Amino acid sequence: MTITYDDFTRVDIRVGVITRAEPFPEARKPAIKLWVDFGAEIGEKRSSAQITVHYKPEELIGRQVLAVVNFPPRQIGPVKSEVLVLGVPDAAGEVVLIGPGHDVPLGGRLF
């Protein structure tokens, strides 16, 4: 399916930094609860990510990631996920987080 540039601009993808990460044992599939700070305009948002193969919660603190910030919140068990942290699959299909190659200001929008 082909989309227009206007379609693309409606998806608000921003850079944030993970400020807190905890195991999420209540999730149906192994996951980690994340708190991501997107700067003054958006603030801190929560998410749940199935990233336990490549990441431990304590290793995620301070990592910059990209996330969709304009999806409606989604209830995942006891956690309300407010943003979708983005990743790509490795050769085995496991999630690898994506983020900028250099530190950038929080809240920067992907273009």
Closest to 54 in 3D by CA, of 92, 14, 94, 85: 94
13 three-class SS: strand
* CATH placement of domain 17-102: 2.40.50.140
pLDDT for the residue 110 = 96
Residue by residue, DSSP assigns 24-59 as -TTSSS--EEEEEE--TTT-EEEEEE--TTT--HHH
pTM for the predicted model, two decimal places:
0.94
What are the pLDDT tens digits along the chain (111 aa)? 999 999 999 999 999 999 999 999 888 899 999 999 999 999 999 999 999 999 999 999 999 999 999 999 999 888 999 999 999 999 999 999 999 999 999 999 999
